[in-house]
A and B are shown apart, each in its own frame.
Chain A
Amino acid sequence: MSEVQRRKYSQEEKNAIFDGEFMPHIDSMYNFAYRLTFDEDDAKDLVQDTYLKAYRFINSFEKGTNAKAWLFRILKNSFINEYRKKSKQPAKVDYQEVETYYNSDDVDFQGTTDLRAESVKDMLGDEISNALNSLAVDFRTVIILCDLEGFTYEEMAKILDIPIGTVRSRLHRARNLLKDKLKGYAQHMGYNTDEEE
């Protein structure tokens, strides 16, 4: 994906790739863009920009390879370079800071006894969605890529330009943070916990 391979597609081939391999991912792309920006217009612009870039650089896409991962990488880079600054969401904590903080072992999730699988299954879509949306963008992103979109660690490493080991540990931390949020909802909503069977 990173090495630019020069080839020349004919106009017909370009159209076929664009329609056959790029456009089918528009739902996933929009969902990702919306969960990054929290704004319908920004999400539309982001997806549109991504597809225009994809078309412009179509010669560096190798036909038959993973178009979805290729598109997600472009979208992620566009978001970081252009949208993150003007995004309507309030400024988030600097990622490096977050990662360092949560790197310590003592924040490992200890709440398996408080948060039960059954409580999670009973939660409403909005609660799940809000919990996910409340995570800092880098943690939110790995969960979206892995759990919503089903990318492998290797694909995620390429999309995010980070080593696989970092994908694994960032995911683990993201999931711990998400469980903390869900636990909060479970307690707040009285979904608890040990008594119900």
Chain B
Amino acid sequence: MDMKEDSSGQRKMQCSDVSRCFQLLESILDGEMGDGGKDILQEKLDKCQPCFEHFHLEQAIREVLKTKCTKQSVPVELAQSIREKIQDIK
């Protein structure tokens, strides 16, 4: 993974190792990198445009998944039916 500083101070437009960087960013977003992840993340966001865009895209997808795909309403009778079946086998 390319951690070298870009002397221009601008984000570089090409990522030297997209596959590994993106997978790393995803692990960071998933909270799997601990505190060490924050430094790596800041470095990536500051220095690399593809990483910057990928991070924000991944973040947006996680948000919409979480807000729009967890609203399946549970049938009201389900909990009651489970409790009755449990009573039977007690």
Residues of A within 8 A of B (CB): 11, 18, 23, 26-28, 30-31, 34-35, 40, 44, 47-48, 51-52, 55-56, 105, 108-110, 112-113, 115-118, 120-121, 123-125, 128-129, 132, 143-144, 146-148, 152-153, 168-169, 171-172, 175, 178-179, 182
Contacts and interface: CB of A to CB of B under 8 A. Distances in A.
Contacts of B56: 117
Contacts of B53: 112-113, 116-117
Contacts, number: 113
Interface of B is mostly: helix
A52 B83 CA distance: 9
A109 B85 contact: no
Interface of B: 18-19, 22-23, 26-27, 30-32, 50, 53-54, 56-66, 68-72, 74-75, 78-79, 81-82, 85-86, 89-90
B86 A112 contact: no
Contacts of B74: 26-27, 30
Nearest to B18: A108
